[in-house]
Structure 1
């Protein structure tokens, strides 16, 4: 697809941006620190720059679970929040590009508030994922942002509608309430309820059907992200994947084929240059 085709379909709501950690690859804080852009860099950030055992380095959710068991849940939440709020950093190029399009629906697996900044001047809905809660089965919270107040207010899930842009952050966010799905226990809980139909508000379950997705900076090599994407995009029409991996595993290939997702043969940086 050409630049005009991607942008037209995003603006018209037929193509949904779906963002992952890879969009932060070129993003550094004002002091030069790297914002985590893959599993390894996330583990280093959570563990004070120190590598962990090979078993724990396999995936950041496993490492986060180990840290949570040793140091407690508040520690892992505080560290995650610290990574994305302690020092200022510019918007990654992907978000800058989306700012020119202002999609009506976006899925963002990242834990920071970059996506929210794009919509600071526009009323919108925000859905954030939650896990390991006792109050019911729903694994999400719905907020409405009003420009006049500059604040998010939690609302009932029935209020959600296409009248305002919908920002969906399944793995949580630093704002308006710190809530992160980051450890193995978090993902197990969220995915279990997701498979039961409790990870998405009722409106979104039908609204998302028969749409195409543009996966940017997503790595489907690990089961976790494949399972999350599968639940969030149930009923999809097809999609496109752009990341910096030159070779994909057999598991990735099977997933992409089964979901009719075409991997574009270009890096994320090249893709963005082509859409300037």
Structure 2
């Protein structure tokens, strides 16, 4: 972990964020924000558990809700989870705010990442699914600092001279686009395997990069597949799991991708690199 901060700033080490970074986050109204698959299901279903088959992974539960109540319901419910509550930024984001990494991958669907870059110009790429216009499963925006607004741009206009925020599962802002149900993930992963999940310039840039996985649940099949597609040609990197024993699926992913697990809590890791 030598020169960690410098590597993050240069883009040779890329933060990859998952829901687990919200584990200690409490909204101002006293409720907890979703930090794993189970808590996301409860949030989507008004606090009620669903059948064991649907509780397996939140994408499956979201698909069931979408089939019963419609696509607009699941979009609005996802937006409500993050936009209806006031909450402090999780500690991982406040740590990254001071560093401003060149490239960040964030699979969370709120706008915390955009907030920590709101004082600098940057590019934002959000995932999108089930569209018929073309094969690309992303939308690119450029943040105009003077106007404090995001403006859509073509993929050819994306450059490496500004920080790049990549939110492959979508976001509440600047537009509500979410990869959340099984149908979303199947569509997104299908196009990702065809090379249409990220702009060409990023597919070149990601080669031989190391990744710092924070709060990503590799025990779930979906997010292992998402991480695998986004980090093709990786050099290696680190995971942060503070647990006595990794699951077989976690251990296999870590070994297959030449990663090293740091047996620390996220807070311990951040405090040691503050």
Indicate the TM-score class for this superposition, using the shorter chain for normalisation: over 0.9
CA deviations on 1:170-229 (whole Å, 9 max, x unpaired) are 000001110000000000000000000000101111011111000000110111001000
Shift of 1:159: 0.6
Cα separation, 2, equivalents of 1:18 and 1:246: 22
- Is 1:217–1:244's contact at 8 Å kept on the other side of the alignment? no
Selected match of 1:135 from 126, 133, 136:
133
Choose from 260, 263, 271 the match for 1:262.
Answer: 260
Number of positions where the alignment pairs a residue of Structure 1 with one of Structure 2:
274
TM-score normalised by L of structure 1: 0.97
Q: Report if aligned partners of 2:92, 2:270 keep a CA contact under 8 Å in 1.
A: yes
* Structure 2 counterparts to residues 110-121 of structure 1, below 5 A: 110-121=108-119
SS at match of 1:99: helix
The answer to whether 1:230 aligns with 2:228 is: yes
TM-score for both structures, normalised by structure 2: 0.98
Q: Say if 1:126 and 1:166, in contact at 8 Å, map to a contact too.
A: yes
Instruction: After TM superposition, give the deviation of residue 8 of structure 1 in Å.
Output: 2.0
Equivalent residue for 2:249?
Answer: 251
How far off is 1:88 after superposition? 0.7
1:38 aligned partner: 36
Structure 1 segments of 4+ aligned residues over 4 angstroms from their partners: none
Matches within 5 A, 1:198-213: 198-213=196-211
1:1-20 matched pairs, under 5 angstroms: 1=1, 5-20=3-18
2-structure distance, mates of 1:62, 1:153: 33
After superposition, the C-alpha distances for 1:60-102 in whole angstroms (9 at most, x for unaligned) are 0000000000000000000000000001100000000001100
Distance in 2, matches of 1:140 and 1:102, equals 22
Aligned Cα root-mean-square deviation (Å): 0.9
Contact 2:243/2:263 (CA < 8 Å) preserved in 1? no
1:240 to partner: Cα distance: 0.2
CA distance, structure 2, for counterparts of residue 220 and residue 139 of structure 1: 23
Counterpart for residue 75 of structure 1 = 73
1:247 Cα offset (Å): 2.1
- 3-state secondary structure, aligned to 1:152: strand
Change (3 A) 1:76 1:245: farther
Match status 1:95 vs 2:93? yes
Unaligned runs of 5+ in 2: none
